[in-house]
């Protein structure tokens, strides 16, 4: 396998404006023309800035931004020594891997009772009335491969009996989301605080 590796240097003005910062990057391509790239290091050429700052970067991942090919943005800064840019915290979803765990995470016990009543009253999955009943039938179809109320109703009755043993229900999920949001906000505030004392590098 042959690899073509190229190295390039890019320059940015430094914080005091009297010198520059060098960014050493590499690019390579494999036999199938797939490209890879990375940064091998930064060099602060300015003696003043070298004493006071170090280079730090912040990486943000975007879900779908067609104009940014890999969905990643990297901002580089001269950060005062003693400060550090925190890593961006990404929102995490709770993990539920089974139909029953997913149902309990999304619906209260009272809602599950109403859904069972809806199913018993209307007999067929095509005739049920409540939006929640239709959603639960979809979950069962996807995860249990059945839409038969004859199978789903006993399944839901068992879920109801064991409801309190599940880790995630709408209340614990809401609590988790609230705590997570507070942590993300605090982290973003710290990122803003460090950035406000730092100098943004723009390489070209
Ligand atoms: Zn400088």
56 C-alpha to ligand 1 centroid (Å): 16
Ligand 1 centroid from CA 81, angstroms: 14
**34, pLDDT greater than 90:** no
Residue 179: inside a domain: no
Domain identity same for 27 and 66: yes
Number of domains observed in the structure of the chain = 2
Ligand 1 mean position, distance from CA 46 (Å): 5
Both 83 and 108 in one domain: the answer is: no
Cα dihedral value 62, 65, 66, 71, nearest 10: -20
Q: Looking at the domain assignment, is residue 141 inside a domain?
A: yes
The mean pLDDT value for 31-39 works out to 84
Contacts of 12 (CB under 8 A, 6+ apart): 20, 21, 23, 76, 201, 202, 203, 204
Write the pLDDT tens digit of every residue in 84-114. Answer: 999 999 999 999 999 999 999 999 999 999 9
pLDDT at 136 over 90: yes
Indicate whether 67 pLDDT > 90: no
pLDDT of residue 159: 98
Q: Does any domain span residue 48? A: yes
Average per-residue pLDDT for the chain: 93
Please check whether residue 160 lies inside any domain of the structure.
Answer: yes
Q: Are residues 144 and 191 in the same domain?
A: no
Number of residues assigned to the chain: 204
User: From the CA of 14, how far away is ligand 1's center (Å)?
Assistant: 5
Q: Are 176 and 51 in contact (CB under 8 A)?
A: no
**Are residues 87 and 161 located together in one domain of the fold?**
no
Chain centroid to Cα 100, Å, comes to 25
Q: How far away, in angstroms, is 20 Cα from ligand 1 center? A: 7
Residues paired with residue 91 on neighbouring β-strands, in sequence order: none
Asked if 195 and 86 touch (Cβ cutoff 8 Å), the reply is no
Q: What's the 164 CA to ligand 1 centre distance in angstroms?
A: 61
User: What residues form DSSP beta bridges with 58?
Assistant: 75
Whether residue 181 is contained in a domain is answered as no
Q: What is the mean pLDDT of residues 119-137?
A: 95
Cβ within 8 Å of residue 158, ≥6 positions away:
100
Whether 190 has a pLDDT exceeding 80, the answer reads yes
- Quick check: is 178 in a domain? no
Predicted local distance difference test score (pLDDT) of residue 36: 85
Residues 108 and 136 in one domain: yes
Residues with CB under 5 A from ligand 1 (ion): 14, 16, 19, 46, 48-49
Q: 9 and 86 in one domain?
A: yes
The yes-or-no verdict on residue 75 having pLDDT over 70 is yes
151/191 same-domain check:
no
Helices and strands (DSSP H and E) totals, the chain: 6, 6
Q: Facing residues of 201 across strands?
A: 76
- In this structure, are 76 and 29 located in the same domain? yes
Least confident of 62-71, 128-137, 143-152: 62-71
Which residue's entry shows tokens 């929640």?
Answer: 132
Residues 25, 76, single domain; the answer is yes
Q: Can you read off the two tokens belonging to residue 88?
A: 């961006």
- Confidence tier at 70 by pLDDT (50, 70, 90): low
Structural domain includes residue 42: yes
pTM of the full predicted structure? Answer: 0.77
For residues 32 and 68, membership in a common domain is answered with yes
119 in a structural domain: yes
Instruction: Identify the domain containing residue 119 by its residue range.
Output: 99-167
Say how many Å lie between the CA of residue 83 and the centre of ligand 1: 18
């Amino acid at each position: 396998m042959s690899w073509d590796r190229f190295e390039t240097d890019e320059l940015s003005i430094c914080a005091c404006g009297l010198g520059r910062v060098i960014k050493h990057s590499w690019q390579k391509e494999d036999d199938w023309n797939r490209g890879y790239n990375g940064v091998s290091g930064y060099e602060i050429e300015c003696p003043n800035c070298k004493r006071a700052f170090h280079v730090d970067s912040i990486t943000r991942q975007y879900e779908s931004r067609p104009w940014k090919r890999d969905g990643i943005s990297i901002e580089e800064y001269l950060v005062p020594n003693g400060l550090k840019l925190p890593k961006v915290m990404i929102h995490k979803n709770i993990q539920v891997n089974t139909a029953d765990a997913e149902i309990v995470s999304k619906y209260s016990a009272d809602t599950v009772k109403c859904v069972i009543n809806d199913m018993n009253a209307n007999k067929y999955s095509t005739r049920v009335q409540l939006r929640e009943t239709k959603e639960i039938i979809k979950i069962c179809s996807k995860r249990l491969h059945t839409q038969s109320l004859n199978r789903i109703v006993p399944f839901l009755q068992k879920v109801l009996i064991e409801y309190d043993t599940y880790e995630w229900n709408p209340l614990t999920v809401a609590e988790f989301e609230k705590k997570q949001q507070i942590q993300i906000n605090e982290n973003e505030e710290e990122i803003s605080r460090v950035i406000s004392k730092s100098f943004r590098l723009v390489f070209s």
